[in-house]
Amino acid sequence: MAESFGIAFTIVEVTADEWSAGRPRKQCWVAAAKPSQALTLVLAASPEGWTAELMSERLTQKQQAALDRLNLKPGEVRELPE
């Protein structure tokens, strides 16, 4: 039986394998999925060779409302603007 994606948003930090200004380039992505699935979904959508890790910060109500407005479907991911 297939596992559902759930209704939670998971924030993932993606790090490039290239360096800019002495630091690796980083991006934040959101996945409409459980944390156990979010890393795989984001890595599949991000450039090859990049690494990803779950961000541990909890979303504020304002951030949650902003993500709700993205209308992501279960299993979708999107890079967040800087």
58-74 pLDDT tens trace: 888 898 888 889 899 99
Conformation bin of residue 2: beta by default, left when phi > 0, alpha when psi is -120 to 50: beta
pTM metric for this prediction: 0.81
Q: Give the whole-angstrom CA distance, residue 70 versus residue 61.
A: 15
> Which of 2, 12, 1 lies closest to 76 in space, CA to CA?
12
The predicted structure's pLDDT at residue 5? 63
Per the model's pLDDT, the better-predicted residue between 45 and 24 turns out to be 45
pLDDT of 18 over the 80 cut: no
Domain ranges of the chain: 10-79
The predicted structure's pLDDT at residue 1? 45
